[in-house]
């Protein structure tokens, strides 16, 4: 029975309008999440698309991240009676130097990539796959995960910083309480600004990795864009911890919670950011390298099950008498008194060629995946669990070496 054209158009419109409306809602939800992420990055100076934004970003960093804490540390040293008992000047300078260094590395690397590729292209959010239905929910979830990761680490450290400064205000004698409160509030604001910039870069790298865990095509691009960031952060954090070891062992007689609290919090923040980066890189490398084992398992399952499948297809294709005569082999068994005849199907040359062709294609695919494992690389070195273990033992050797030197020098 034919359906009139008007009724058909009505049915199509009634089914397509809700789908189109739902599609628009999903795109609006994704755009909202991306705009929120871009706003956060713009507030902290990562988006430097124009000369004005570039100037404002680095001017804010110089004022809030460098100049303000330097001035406050200088003023604070004149506000308390016994400065060395409650604040070690070398500790304060070292914490500030490495805090600004890791924040500057994060700001330079991320802003350069955003300026070169643009926000959406930097995150591979484009029309080809970023707005496909199966990727929208994943994009939104990962962006929300970025905010959660940032909040999970920034808020506890901010709380510790506030508690430390509150304890310092209570126990440290001051010439002027009002001036001390202003100084400590300025130090907390500067610390929060620099720490958020550093952890935002690390969390953005984690978002970048999580978003494209299945897209091995982009691994080389990700490695190229973030390899300098990872190397510089690793070197900066290593130098910071070595210097921290020197300072704590050399000043162990006067160090306490009040004058060494900033040092501890800064070291933990730097290590957390580095661990976030290394964990994300090792995870994508592990999953990329696991693709070969999955393909090998699939190849073995298909190969072992192909005999039964081929036998069933040949039996189904042997309906004609001519095909049956050419495809069957008569085998006589004479062991028993009752002579039997079994008909065994034999595959034709075309079927064998097709089967062997599929087998060799699968084998070539598995060999390619096993020979090219992929993953996040830094100048050819894949960041996997083995490399992380190597980094750990290198750092441990460096720590023991520094401890041996400092303790020996201290006693002599």
Looking only at the bridges linking them, the beta strands covering 377-378 and 340-345 are: unpaired
Rounded distance, CA 285 to CA 378, Å?
12
pLDDT of residue 31: 81
How much is the pLDDT for 104?
92
Bridge partners for 377 per DSSP: 382
Could you write out the DSSP letters of every residue in 279-314? HHHHHHHHHHHHHHHHHHHHHHHHHHHHHHHHHHHH
Per residue of the chain (412 residues), what is the pLDDT tens digit? 444 444 444 444 444 444 444 556 666 777 888 888 888 999 899 988 888 989 999 999 999 999 998 888 877 766 555 555 666 677 788 888 888 999 999 999 889 888 888 888 787 765 544 445 556 677 778 888 888 888 888 999 899 888 888 887 777 666 677 777 888 888 889 999 999 999 988 888 888 776 544 555 566 677 777 888 888 888 888 888 888 887 777 777 777 777 777 778 888 888 888 888 888 888 888 877 777 777 777 777 777 776 555 545 544 544 443 343 434 334 444 444 434 444 444 445 555 555 556 777 777 767 766 666 667 777 777 788 888 888 888 888 888 887 777 666 655 6
Torsion angle of the four alpha carbons 153, 157, 162, 166, in this order, in degrees rounded to the nearest 10: 150
Report how far residue 111's alpha carbon sits from residue 106's, in angstroms, rounded to the nearest whole number. Answer: 8
Q: b or e along 4-30 (b: 16 or more beta carbons within 10 Å of the residue's beta carbon)? A: eeeeeeeeeeeeeeeeeeeeeebeeeb
On the 0-12 / 13-18 / 19+ scale of CB atoms within 10 A, 140 is: middle
pLDDT at 336: 43
What is the per-residue DSSP string for 127-169? TTTTTSHHHHHHHHHHHHHHHHHHHHHHHHHHHHHHHHHHHHH
Which sequence spans correspond to the domains of the chain? Answer: 13-288+377-411, 297-371
């Amino acid at each position: 029975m034919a359906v009139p054209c008007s009724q058909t158009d009505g049915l199509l419109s009634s089914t397509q309008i809700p789908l189109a409306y739902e599609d628009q809602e999903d795109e609006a939800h994704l755009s909202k999440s991306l705009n929120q992420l871009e706003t956060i990055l713009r507030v902290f100076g990562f988006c430097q698309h124009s000369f004005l934004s570039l100037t404002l970003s680095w001017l804010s960093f110089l004022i809030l991240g460098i100049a303000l804490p330097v001035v406050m540390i200088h003023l604070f040293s004149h506000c308390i009676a016994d400065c060395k008992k409650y604040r070690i000047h070398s500790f304060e300078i070292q914490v500030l130097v490495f805090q600004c260094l890791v924040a500057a590395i994060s700001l330079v690397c991320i802003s350069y990539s955003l300026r070169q590729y643009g926000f959406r292209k930097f995150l591979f959010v484009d029309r080809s796959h970023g707005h496909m239905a199966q990727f929208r929910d994943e994009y939104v979830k990962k962006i929300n995960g970025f905010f959660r990761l940032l909040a999970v680490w920034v808020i506890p450290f901010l709380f510790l910083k506030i508690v430390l400064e509150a304890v310092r205000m209570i126990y440290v004698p001051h010439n002027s309480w009002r001036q001390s409160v202003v100084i400590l509030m300025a130090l907390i604001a500067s610390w929060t600004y620099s720490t958020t910039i550093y952890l935002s870069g690390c969390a953005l790298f984690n978002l970048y990795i999580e978003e494209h865990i299945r897209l091995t095509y982009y691994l080389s691009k990700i490695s190229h864009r973030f390899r300098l960031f990872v190397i510089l952060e690793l070197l900066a954090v290593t130098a910071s911890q070595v210097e921290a070891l020197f300072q704590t062992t050399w000043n162990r007689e006067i160090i306490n919670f009040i004058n060494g609290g900033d040092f501890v919090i800064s070291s933990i923040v730097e290590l957390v950011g580095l661990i976030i980066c290394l964990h994300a890189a090792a995870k994508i490398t592990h999953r990329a390298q696991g693709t070969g084992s999955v393909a090998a398992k699939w190849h073995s399952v298909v190969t072992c099950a192909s005999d039964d499948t081929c036998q069933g297809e040949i039996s189904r294709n042997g309906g004609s008498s001519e095909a049956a005569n050419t495809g069957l082999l008569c085998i006589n068994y004479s062991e028993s008194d009752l002579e039997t005849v079994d008909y065994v199907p034999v595959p034709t040359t075309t079927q064998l060629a097709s089967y062997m062709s599929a087998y060799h294609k699968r084998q070539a695919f598995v060999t390619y995946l096993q020979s090219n494992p992929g993953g996040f690389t830094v100048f050819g070195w894949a960041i996997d669990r083995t490399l992380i273990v190597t980094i750990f033992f290198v750092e441990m050797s460096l720590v023991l070496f520094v401890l041996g030197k400092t303790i020996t020098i201290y006693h002599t």
